[in-house]
Structure 1
């Protein structure tokens, strides 16, 4: 039997966590000096209601190794012999390192055990690691071996495409979740920046004016990039405005050929601390070797506007 576990930044719904019996190690959110366990002591909705009224930006801290060890011990009691832990990117959180420490402690305490534990650095944020967890759960149902599921995660984790738009970059800049170059660019922009993950950290790849243009960008990128052989579900995430997620899902259904499952899931307080209000995200697996970047996308945008202008002049 294979047990899945993760840190709470995977932001999976309670329905999915219960369905696949996923063990979750909660991050800690510190608000005005008080520590809360993500999704245990404070719900996402409670957090986003409080966020606009806070004078000081909340901070987060990784789960302790003991939180992971509790999940490991319980899993063994339940009969699991193989444990796969999928963590938020080591470039944005200490969750991965904490899970590795827990793994080492377990084997030090149990030198002759036949239990197998493997920790994946997902190089992802939020539902990026969540996508890998759901896919791993599906592979378990299909009878894949522990080794093959590990191989899948290590092979595809860099191809889980992140699209994340935020209303305000201040939270991401202050918390260090952006690369230095992207933080500098972000300060200059007076439009909605769109981010992805690059080498385990957030990087701005495009900028759009208004939510409608953001949605169009998401759909265009999805059509160009999606690997339909692997992407049998999409995750659409939001922080505080579910209507934005609903609008994106409707566009996916009406403007693309994708007919499989689309999940809508809220980002939790641990991720929301850095993303802020009005966040909208989308996750799927992209084809190999597709380049991405702000300069490339700006040139593409200019060419598209040129084509649109020519068509208008013809009309």
Structure 2
């Protein structure tokens, strides 16, 4: 069984290599030049480049032909089952491209017995990454293709997302918050906290200052965490690993959770819209 994801899953390279996950890159465009997410450009370098860029960076979904290339590569390597987990169709065309790439591959190989399942995760960043990682763990333990597919489709709307940002300008460009709200937020040091609702981002809280953001994350985790499904938590960050470390420490000391907590930097495609100072948290909710 071959596991694939688009690059917005934001999983660490260590996990990608450990479980042999194929990552299909999005394109990031800076001043008219295209870069492959994770391959040509990393997050820290990206933020240095946009300091002097003439216009905001933009992102583009993988093409159907690129998906088709990855499917062919997997089949040539002997795989008979392919599971692809994509970012939410509510925020990108990645899932649609994956489905088109699948259909193109099947049209060109009408006699193939290969199974391909493309998932619209309804998640973003480490949210889809959480599902990819969980799938990898299930595969490692011997789960069948159908079992993994059914799990992902059944639980994808239960992956809890939280994201807070320091630079509200990136959310304005993404259309997630109004310019007026951003000005007020900056004056009062108010940080919006977003989650995913039916595959799209939505502001669920506004907290004043970083400490209150961390407190909110921990309080919500204690209320919402599904202890039967959450065997690991992912904490994401764009530029400040220390605040991610602070959140990890609070979870360890202020919650009963005893599973693994992974700190992972958001990739360029996601960081383009989040901006510096982003902090996220992902787990399975009740």
Interval of TM-score (by shorter of Structure 1 and Structure 2): over 0.9
Q: 1:278 Cα deviation (Å)?
A: 0.4
CA, structure 1 residues 97+183, in 2 after alignment: closer, same or farther (shift >3 Å)?
farther
Partner residue in 1 for 2:161: 162
Report what 1:300 is aligned to: none
Is 1:240 the counterpart of 2:239? The answer is yes
Q: What are the residue-to-residue correspondences of 1:160-309 with 2, within 5 Å?
A: 160-176=159-175, 178=176, 183=178, 186-187=181-182, 189-190=184-185, 191-287=190-286
How many Å apart are 1:232 and its aligned residue?
A: 0.1
RMSD: 1.4
Shift of 1:54: 3.0
CA contact (8 A) 2:160 2:282 kept: yes
Q: Distance in 1 between matches of 2:198 and 2:272?
A: 21
Q: Say if 1:195 and 1:205, in contact at 8 Å, map to a contact too.
A: yes
Between the aligned partners of 1:153 and 1:186, the Cα distance in structure 2 is 36
C-alpha distance in 1, partners of 2:231/2:184? 35
Counterparts of 2:15 and 2:265 in 1: how far apart (Å)? 13
Which moved further from structure 2: 34-43 or 68-77?
68-77
Alpha-carbon distance, 1:65 to partner: 1.4
CA drift of 1:209 comes to 0.7
Which residue in 2 is equivalent to 1:134?
133
Aligned to 2:82: 83
CA contact (8 A) 1:171 1:276 kept: yes
Equivalent-residue separation in structure 1 for 2:164 and 2:129 (angstroms): 18
Aligned to 1:120: 119
Q: What are the superposed Cα offsets for residues 170-226 of structure 1, whole Å, 9 maximum, x if unpaired?
A: 2233234x3xxx547844751100000011111000011111110000000000000
Asked if the contact 1:44–1:268 (Cα under 8 Å) also holds between the matched residues in 2, the reply is yes
Q: Partner residue of 1:58?
A: 57
| Structure 1: tracts of 5 or more residues without a match | 288-315
Q: In the alignment, which residue of structure 2 is the partner of 1:299?
A: none
Other-structure match for 2:102: 103
Distance in 1 (CA, whole Å) between partners of 2:279 and 2:53 is 22
User: Partner residue of 2:146?
Assistant: 147
Distance, in Å, in 2 between the alignment partners of 1:7 and 1:186 is 32
CA separation in 1, counterparts of 2:124 and 2:212?
A: 23
Structure-to-structure mapping, 1:21-36, within 5 angstroms: 21-36=20-35
Secondary structure in structure 2 of the residue aligned to 1:90: coil
- Which residue is 1:310 aligned to? none
Q: Secondary structure at the match of 1:284?
A: strand
Given that residues 128 and 162 in structure 1 are in contact (C-alpha distance below 8 angstroms), is that contact kept between their aligned partners in structure 2?
A: yes
The structure-2 alpha-carbon separation of the partners of 1:233 and 1:104, relative to structure 1 and needing over 3 Å to count, comes to same
1:251-285 C-alpha deviation (Å, 9 max, x unpaired): 11111111111111000110000000100000000
For the 8 Å contact 1:9–1:270, the answer to whether it is kept is yes
